[in-house]
Structure 1
Amino acid sequence: MMDSDEFEHGGQEAAPIDMLAAYFEAHGWSFDQVGEDEIVGNTQGSWAQYELRGIWRDEDQVLQLLVLPDIRVAEDKRGPIYETLGLINEQLWIGHFELWSSSGIVLFRHGAMLGAGGTLTLDQAQLLVETAIDECERFYPVFQFVLWGGKSPAEAISASLIETRGEA
């Protein structure tokens, strides 16, 4: 694993799980390394506590990052949430939201192909993690409006994604 001096210099590379561990540690987030190819961390967002899972597949040279925003969907709400997911995912360039049918959990997932070297830079780690958390923060209210506010998916997106201009 990288030490804190190496982490602060930004340009170095490390095995993906080691780099994510260094990134989580530098931010003071609790985390557990689940073997050589998986790490689970936690951080508090504006709306929820987020669980972050990094899973490395050496045979494919792919790092999969999952962020679970603690949203569970009951069977009777799955239809509207699937529609919500479709509308949200149309707006994303990187990663996507999905609903795991077996558990009803909503999550954000992104797979990063790292290539033959199989290393992750600090800049890549920061971009992957921050983008995933930003998207969860951006769309969390949409899910809540559909699940608890009685809004249609289109209404929820319109109500949540108002762009503010100027300063108050």
Structure 2
Amino acid sequence: MTEEDSSEEREDGAPIEVLEAYFDARGWSCERAGDGEIVASAPGSWAQYELRGVWRPDDQVLQFLAFPDIKVAADKRLPIYETLGLVNEQLWLGHFELWSGSGLIVFRYSALLDAGEGEGLTFEQAEAIAEAALEECERFFPVFQFVLWGGKSPQDAITAALIETAGEA
């Protein structure tokens, strides 16, 4: 292995290492699921979230996934697809999707990193990505629940869940 190959190998793993350092700093349990993948568990108000970082060195893309522990039965998929469309209109970064095979709802965000120029993922970027994913999962978890368990229409669920409250109880 040449020095150049060794350097390239270190850079390819850097985003996962930075995510691991961030997860450790937060006290979240995490484990490597391979050279280019890490899985963590993060607490939320509504659920325990599985967070997953997948580094694709050939594309220089870090894919970050957050699973809000919501599984959609076949008979509820049509209203959830409509809900996903309305929810995704509210997002600036990332999107929610329904995995057809498993019925799981997932938040997905992809970041194009220039690791080849030494500009890999910073700790601050890892924090921003993870926090944004968790915030969106927390914000929209009730919307999905209102549709799945509350029998609300997608539009009514978003209206009910996103009401701005004044003051504190």
Give TM-score, length-normalised by structure 2. Answer: 0.89
1:28 paired with 2:27, answer yes
1:74 is aligned to 73
SS at match of 2:129: helix
Note the 1:51-62 alignment, pairs <5 A: 51-62=50-61
Q: Alpha-carbon deviation of 1:118?
A: 5.6
Provide the rounded CA distance (Å) in 2 between the counterparts of 1:56 and 1:138: 26
Of Structure 1 and Structure 2, the greater helix share is in 2
List runs of 5+ in structure 2 lacking aligned partners: 1-12
Q: Alpha-carbon deviation of 1:166?
A: 3.5
SS at match of 1:137: helix
2:5 is aligned to none
1:38 paired with 2:33, answer no
Provide the rounded CA distance (Å) in 2 between the counterparts of 1:154 and 1:105: 21
1:156 is aligned to 157
List runs of 5+ in structure 1 lacking aligned partners: 1-13
Give TM-score, length-normalised by structure 1. Answer: 0.89
Superposition misfits of 4+ residues, deviation over 6 angstroms:
none
1:140 is aligned to 141
Report percent identity of matched pairs.
66
Provide the rounded CA distance (Å) in 1 between the counterparts of 2:153 and 2:119: 43
Provide the rounded CA distance (Å) in 2 between the counterparts of 1:66 and 1:166: 33
Give me the CA root mean square deviation.
Answer: 1.2
Q: Alpha-carbon deviation of 1:35?
A: 1.7
Aligned length: 155
SS at match of 1:15: helix
